[in-house]
Amino acid sequence: MKNIAVFASGRGTNFSAIAKAVKRGTLKANLALLVCDNPQALVLEKAKRSGVKIALIKREGFAKKKDFESKIIEALKANKIDLIVLAGFMRILSVDFVKEHAGRIINIHPSLLPSFKGSQGIRDAFDCGVKVTGVTVHFVDELMDHGPIILQAPVKIEYDDTLASLDEKIHRVEHSLYPAAIKLFVEDKLRIEARRVKISAR
Ligand code: GAR
């Protein structure tokens, strides 16, 4: 069984969705570690309740980003992590870190990439007035919110949606799309070919 580590800095609703899928047995993986950089994050409580091991590693604890990341790598090695799952981790990982883990880091983003990259993907789509936005799960490369796309799902923005109702719709979609993408990875069904992801028969 593959060992996965979720990296999160905030609320952790995606962490919970993944933990639930693992517990139900619909996602056959070992949720071995939560890596968190924020001592105030609500995700910490969620991990404690689900009995998932926590590595709380604060960026401020290190003068250099390299040392911060070395500490993370140490935790990944100690827990024999096969897949890094970014779920609202509000730190940009260095090019070296990404290269070292190429093909083994995935991210979820609350828009249909390449539109609305950045930390405000839901708000930016809402403010722009697009009628369709969505969710993307992708392999991580050295650019932000960029890399070979694994799965995408559209979310309609209705005229009477508010930012709050859109946020809720997006998160609902994320909570099924992320476990589905992780499942494809752990079942070894993903291949990156010429920057595109080929998904073998499900
Ligand atoms: C999610 O909506 C995720 O798509 C977003 O952070 C949120 C974390 O929510 N990630 C990005 O914007 C990456 N650029 P959660 O803490 O409730 O799982």
Q: Pick from 181, 171, 172: which is nearest to 122 by CA? A: 171
Active site residue 175: no
- Between CA 80 and CA 46 the distance in angstroms is 22
Nearest CA residue ID for atom 6, ligand 1: 88
**What separation in angstroms does the CA of 52 have from each of 36, 41, 151, 195?**
12, 15, 26, 33
Q: What integer is the mean pLDDT of 140-155? A: 96
37-75 pLDDT per residue, tens: 999 999 999 999 999 999 999 999 999 999 999 999 999
Nearest CA residue ID for atom 5, ligand 1: 88
Give the per-residue pLDDT at 202.
55
Q: Is the CB of 151 under 6 A from ligand 1?
A: no
Q: Is the CB of 141 under 6 A from ligand 1?
A: no
Give the per-residue pLDDT at 201.
80
- Between CA 2 and CA 138 the distance in angstroms is 19
To the nearest whole percent, how much of the chain has pLDDT over 70?
100
Q: Pick from 158, 50, 138, 39: which is nearest to 86 by CA? A: 138
Q: Residue 72 has which token pair?
A: 């993370």
Nearest atom of ligand 1 to the alpha carbon of 42:
16
